[in-house]
Homo-oligomer: A and B are copies of this chain.
Amino acid sequence: MTHPDLHSLAHQSQDLLAAVRRDAPLVQCLTNFVSMNYAANAVLAIGASPAMVHAEEEAPEFARFAGAVVINIGTLSSPWLRSMLLTAQAAAEAGTPWVLDPVAHHATAFRRDAIQQLLDLEPAIIRGNASEIIALAGGHSAGKGVDARDAVAQAEQSAHDIAARRKSVVAVTGEVDYVTDGTRAVRIAGGSPLMPRVTATGCALSAVVGAFAAVSKDDPYVAAVAALSCFGIAGERAAVHADGPGSFAWRFLDALAALGADCLTRESPLR
């Protein structure tokens, strides 16, 4: 663990959650069809305002006044990729932080090419599962589809390499999450084994990372830590009364919305 002070990091996270709820930042998501509804509901539950605006005709314009942009390649196609590239560029020009979710980027030639173009537009934060982060660093991942088949611990070095090379914050999520900006690093516990059994949970997290990035433009590292902490705590709470993935999904939204003003310090999942 290279982070000097978990206590202070938890307090900074807590302050960001308060800021999200106070400012209700506009989070523009260019995300996949599977996750659109669940991600929008997660962004609302945390207290921000989701805007699923993706078309080339307007997405770059929108990025100039959005609080943050989230780009997720889950159900990629050529028109969407074109719009994602223009929107990421507009975000960069406007100083709007943007988050990249490289869903299954190693699965096909089309994705492998797309992800390189997106990476070159300098996302503030990259959020993926272990298989995606390992493959992003050029390693050999066990995953074929959208599900992780590697453990987060195996992806920590990859995350560090990408963060250092790309000057991005990298967040790897799984049983215990790992966040690094190449200098600082922290692990985040909590969550539930039911989370990977509900589709779009990871995509929803990337959208919520965007909500925090919008209120923490100068420090995307803390934004990622805060968002993952919220998911860790809410996931653990939702699992208590869940009878399976169906009941977990909505209990998780309730738990996100119910996160209290001191949960991130009192029950800090930082390790």
Pick the contact of A250 from B32, B62, B249, B255 — CB < 8 Å?
B249
Are B44 and A199 in contact (CB-based, < 8 A)? yes
Are B254 and A245 in contact (CB-based, < 8 A)? yes
Are B245 and A197 in contact (CB-based, < 8 A)? no
CB proximity of A212 to chain B, nearest CB, Å: 17
A108 within 8 A of B: yes
Q: In the docked arrangement, what's the CA distance between A78 and B59, Å?
A: 12
Of A11-19, A69-77, A151-159, the stretch lying at the interface with chain B is A69-77
Q: What B residues does A253 contact at CB under 8 A? A: 244-246, 249
A242 to chain B: closest residue by CB:
B254
A146 within 8 A of B: yes
A51 to chain B: closest residue by CB:
B145
A142 within 8 A of B: no
A251 within 8 A of B: yes
A244 to chain B: closest residue by CB:
B254
A53 within 8 A of B: yes
Pick the contact of A33 from B52, B107, B198, B249 — CB < 8 Å?
B52
Please count how many residues in chain A sit with their CB below 8 Å of the partner chain's CB atoms: 60
Are A34 and B26 in contact (CB-based, < 8 A)? no
Q: In the docked arrangement, what's the CA distance between A58 and B79, Å?
A: 14
Q: What B residues does A56 contact at CB under 8 A? A: 77
A74 to chain B: closest residue by CB:
B52
Are A144 and B75 in contact (CB-based, < 8 A)? no
Q: In the docked arrangement, what's the CA distance between A145 and B26, Å?
A: 7
Q: What B residues does A44 contact at CB under 8 A? A: 197-199, 245
Within 8 A of B (CB), among A15-69: 24, 26, 32-38, 40-41, 44-45, 49-58, 61-62, 65
CB proximity of A31 to chain B, nearest CB, Å: 9
Pick the contact of A49 from B51, B53, B146 — CB < 8 Å?
B146
Q: In the docked arrangement, what's the CA distance between A26 and B44, Å?
A: 31
CB proximity of A61 to chain B, nearest CB, Å: 5
Q: In the docked arrangement, what's the CA distance between A191 and B53, Å?
A: 27
Given contacts A44-B198, A77-B57, are A145 and B250 in contact (CB under 8 A)? no
Can you list 10 A-B pairs with a CB-CB distance of less than 8 A?
A: A33-B52, A37-B37, A52-B74, A56-B77, A61-B109, A197-B257, A243-B258, A244-B255, A245-B257, A246-B255
Q: Which 6 A-B pairs have the closest CB atoms?
A: A246-B253, A244-B254, A246-B250, A55-B77, A40-B199, A58-B108
